Structure 1
């Protein structure tokens, strides 16, 4: 995968936040945070260069680019963080003001015909059959009309984290799904399994906030 385009844009957008949170979450001093960031940039470019190009229509390219960034930072830290600390670090680094705005805009189109058509197209693409760093997903609409679920049987983040020797830290990245759903403001994110925790699949369920089944009354 080329560094230019999305990969370059994501570094430009988030590197400053990743550097700032090194001091906020981990307590590194400013100079150490700058040194880590300086080391992380070439590592990030190296990771990106070893990834295949994603197919047109594959909506998960951004996910793997984000994984490459957090991986580069972890590999550049003086000490390896544990999952709990990395979960906080990753969430705070990613949830910048522009990212929160993006989540809110995405929330406005959630459950629309276009959104559901996009989910179905993603499920049909089965990109991970050709690119191990992408995802395979099955799409399920909840029969009660409360929302839908994407059920992932292959996960590019799991593959890349294994390659980087960071697989045990993968749950820290999975947790961002909850944070982004909350920022969107229209869904309650529900999950039973993750591949990273040994589950049979990764379920990403989005339920409409305040959903009330037709024919029911508040308080019943």
Structure 2
């Protein structure tokens, strides 16, 4: 995957937030946080350039780029974090003001015909059949009209985190689905299983908020 483009842009958008939260969540001092960020940038670029290019219609490129960024920061920390604190760290680092705005805009478009069509197209693409760092998804609309579910049988984050030696920390990334759905304001996110925790699949259920 080329570094110039989305990966470089995502670093520009989020790296300072990732640095600030090193102090807020893990109590690293400012100099240590700065050094972690400096080392993480090198690791991030190495991870990105080692990944294959995503198909143009694959909506999950941003997911794997975010995973690469978190992985690079974790690998640059003096001490390996536990999954609970990393979950808090990742949510805080990702939920910047621009990201909250993006979530609200996405929430406004949730359940529209365009949104449903996009979900169906993603399910039909089965990108992970050709790119192991992408996702395969099945799409189910709830019969009562209350929303829908994306059911993932292959997960690029699981693949990359395993390769980075960080697989036990993968649930920290999974939890961001709840955070982003809450920020969107239109959905109650529901889930029973994740592949990262040994489930048969990852289910992402989006229920329309009442009232």
TM-score range, shorter chain: over 0.9
Question: Which structure has the greater CA radius of gyration?
Answer: 1
Segments of structure 2 that go 5 or more residues without pairing to the other structure are: none
What is the CA distance between 1:34 and its match in structure 2?
0.1
Match of 2:32 in 1: 32
Q: Deviations over 1:23-50 (max 9, x none)?
A: 0000000000000000000100000000
Q: Deviations over 1:64-100 (max 9, x none)?
A: 0000000000000000000000000000000000000
Match of 1:179 in 2: 179
User: 2-side partners of 1:152 and 1:124: how far apart?
Assistant: 12
Match of 1:132 in 2: 132
What is the CA distance between 1:207 and its match in structure 2?
0.2
Match of 1:214 in 2: none
The RMSD of aligned alpha carbons is: 0.5
User: 2-side partners of 1:185 and 1:95: how far apart?
Assistant: 14
Structure 2 residue 62 is the aligned partner of structure 1 residue 62 = yes
Match of 1:11 in 2: 11
Match of 1:97 in 2: 97
User: 1-side partners of 2:121 and 2:186: how far apart?
Assistant: 22
Segments of structure 1 that go 5 or more residues without pairing to the other structure are: 212-220
User: What stretches of structure 1 move > 2 A for 4+ residues in a row?
Assistant: none
User: 2-side partners of 1:122 and 1:185: how far apart?
Assistant: 23
User: 2-side partners of 1:42 and 1:32: how far apart?
Assistant: 16
What is the CA distance between 1:205 and its match in structure 2?
0.3
What is the CA distance between 1:161 and its match in structure 2?
0.1
Count matched residues.
Answer: 211
Match of 1:160 in 2: 160
Structure 2 residue 190 is the aligned partner of structure 1 residue 190 = yes
Match of 1:217 in 2: none
